[in-house]
Homo-oligomer: A and B are copies of this chain.
């Protein structure tokens, strides 16, 4: 087996306690011996055994990230940022992709808990369920360790949230579109999560503020695959074929927005004149559109950074906000018309 603290202590001519102190940057070690010990460690390529360490400290400096599907464009980015910021704070990341079924989420959470991670991050609003009982696993976990929620809002002791005010972002997006003259707005969404609901209510509020009518058939739920652009285009086509008339589409994510742009082309519509489109997330997909998709940037990097910052504070027993709420920003590109100054 590899070197132990005993080997080092022997070679350095000190006790194991001193070696341990050096390892933990304890004070009360003279600079001379500290250096000697460090030299010996270096010379012998010593690495402390994390298990033994964890046994004593009951922490592994590791955070569990739960994520439904880390291959999703948006979640992948989130995981990436989270991992980076965690590492900057000397924490490791155990990744756990749960899929979308409540049952698996619960299982995955239990697994992380059994690994004695120091905290858990729930990445994405799909970890919050409609039926309150399904959220029991979060409350249970929060009794043992801090639970951080990205893009979701949950009230419970030891649960902290960072999210974007999607409602407000959507109010803003809707009003911007209306101001540019597109008043028959079709809203497309594909998820009924908390965040999805906030967006929907934002669109409705935006329409109401603009004094426009709110018709249920103008809020359409796309239930198909998140990766099948074709199917999304067909979905929009069907709506149009069904007699729905619209000159603006607001989409709950960029994939749907991209589909809207594709639909417009196939229908021979001119973007943004005949049809304006706004997406959500400001992801790579927005730049893949032709013309490029206007999209709401929901500050993912800032969200992640703040989330980790808050988490570290909690772990250090410092006080930290229970909720950190950011504002989204509409990035206007080729699929929207800037509103005329005089309207």
Contacts and interface: CB of A to CB of B under 8 A. Distances in A.
A220 to B, nearest CB: 21
Given A51-B60, A70-B79, 17 more contacts: A47-B113, A48-B114, A50-B116, A62-B94, A71-B80, A71-B81, A73-B76, A79-B95, A83-B96, A84-B97, A92-B94, A92-B115, A94-B95, A229-B287, A230-B287, A265-B290, A284-B285
A55 B58 contact: no
A52 B50 contact: no
Contact of A76 (B62, B70, B93, B113): B70
A1 B94 CA distance: 23
Interface in A240-286: 258, 262, 265, 284-285
Contacts of A287: 227-230
A321 interface: no
Contacts of A94: 62, 92-95
24 contacts: A47-B110, A49-B116, A50-B114, A51-B54, A51-B55, A52-B55, A55-B55, A62-B94, A69-B80, A70-B80, A71-B77, A73-B284, A80-B97, A84-B97, A87-B96, A87-B97, A92-B96, A92-B111, A92-B115, A93-B94, A93-B96, A227-B284, A230-B292, A288-B289
Nearest to A57: B51
A18 B107 CA distance: 26
Contacts of A288: 229, 258, 285, 288-289
Interface residues of A, number: 52
Contact of A95 (B54, B71, B93, B285): B93
Interface in A85-102: 87, 92-97
Nearest to A116: B50
A287 B258 CA distance: 10
A313 B95 CA distance: 23
B229 A115 contact: no
A51 B58 contact: yes
Contacts of A60: 51
A76 B84 contact: no
A97 B82 CA distance: 10
Contacts of A262: 290
Contacts of A62: 94
Nearest to A97: B83
Nearest to A72: B76
B1 A58 contact: yes
Interface string A23-65: 0000000000000000000000001111111110010101001
Nearest to A84: B97
Contacts of A53: 51
Contacts of A284: 73, 227, 229, 285
A30 to B, nearest CB: 26
Contacts of A49: 55, 116
Contacts of A258: 288
A182 to B, nearest CB: 22
A79 to B, nearest CB: 6
B93 A51 contact: no
Contacts of A81: 71
